[in-house]
């Protein structure tokens, strides 16, 4: 299990560095999704499958879709469309594909392990009700601030991307 943990950690570090260093927002988002999926695999190997599922659904799913929606909503014009079509060469997909295939192999290995020292750590069972009580109990202020920050980002992106249409 240590090998899977260290490989997933390496993938997370590499994909995060690539996400920060990309000039294209969409390419950075692809690497960020790979990074978030590797963090979910790290949580799974540490014995927290519920947190891994939340990481995958909330971060790699919903928030990344929101980011891609905002990038699409900015509507940068004809020049940006031509530039993006040049960026969509097959070579661009090599990096995220290699990292994602490595993560998939690690996940298949982790789920297929049977017996011996390679057993998964005992996962603490956490009911969704307990997560809700925790999020909307002591962490209520943090949850509400995060939702307001996402709303402000969405409104700001709409304002930046809005163009007046002349009749």
How far, in Å, are 4, 73, 104 from residue 46 at the CA level?
10, 38, 17
CATH number at residue 52: 1.20.120.1200
| Alpha-helical segments (H) within 22-139 | 25-45, 49-54, 64-74, 78-87, 94-112, 128-135
Is there a contact between 7 and 104 (Cβ–Cβ < 8 Å)? no
- Both 33 and 114 in one domain: the answer is yes
The tens digit of pLDDT for each residue in 31-57 reads 888 888 898 888 888 877 777 888 888
Structure tokens at 70: 């905002």
Say yes or no: 41 and 70 in one domain. Answer: yes
Q: What is the Cα–Cα distance from 127 to 53, expressed in whole angstroms? A: 13
pLDDT in tens, 58-79: 887 887 787 777 777 766 667 7
* Residue 91 and residue 153 share a domain: no
pLDDT score for 87: 65
Question: Does residue 158 share a domain with residue 87?
Answer: no
Q: Do 49 and 64 fall into the same domain?
A: yes
Is residue 106 domain-shared with residue 145, that is, in the same domain?
Answer: no
> 84 and 46 in one domain?
yes
Do 71 and 109 fall into the same domain? Answer: yes
Rounded-to-integer distance, Cα 131 and Cα 109, Å: 29
Structure confidence at residue 153 as a pLDDT band (50, 70, 90):
confident
Q: 81 lies in which domain range?
A: 2-124
What is the tens place of the pLDDT at every residue in 92-130? Answer: 778 888 888 888 888 888 777 644 455 555 555 667 787
Q: How many domains does the chain have?
A: 2
pTM above 0.95, yes or no: no
């Amino acid at each position: 299990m240590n090998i899977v943990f260290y490989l997933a950690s390496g993938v997370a570090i590499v994909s995060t560095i690539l996400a920060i260093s990309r000039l294209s927002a969409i390419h950075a988002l692809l690497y960020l999704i790979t990074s978030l999926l590797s963090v979910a695999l790290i949580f799974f190997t540490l014995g927290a499958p519920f947190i891994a599922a939340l990481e995958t659904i909330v971060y790699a799913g919903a928030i990344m879709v929101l980011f891609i929606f905002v990038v699409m909503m900015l509507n940068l014009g004809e020049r940006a469309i031509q530039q993006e079509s040049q960026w969509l060469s097959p070579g661009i997909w090599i990096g995220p594909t290699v990292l994602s295939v490595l993560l998939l192999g690690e996940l298949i290995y982790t789920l297929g392990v049977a017996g011996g020292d390679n057993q998964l750590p005992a996962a603490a069972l956490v009911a969704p009700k307990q997560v809700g009580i925790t999020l909307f109990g002591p962490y209520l202020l943090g949850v509400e601030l995060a939702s307001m920050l996402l709303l402000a980002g969405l409104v700001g992106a709409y304002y930046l991307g809005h163009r007046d249409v002349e009749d």
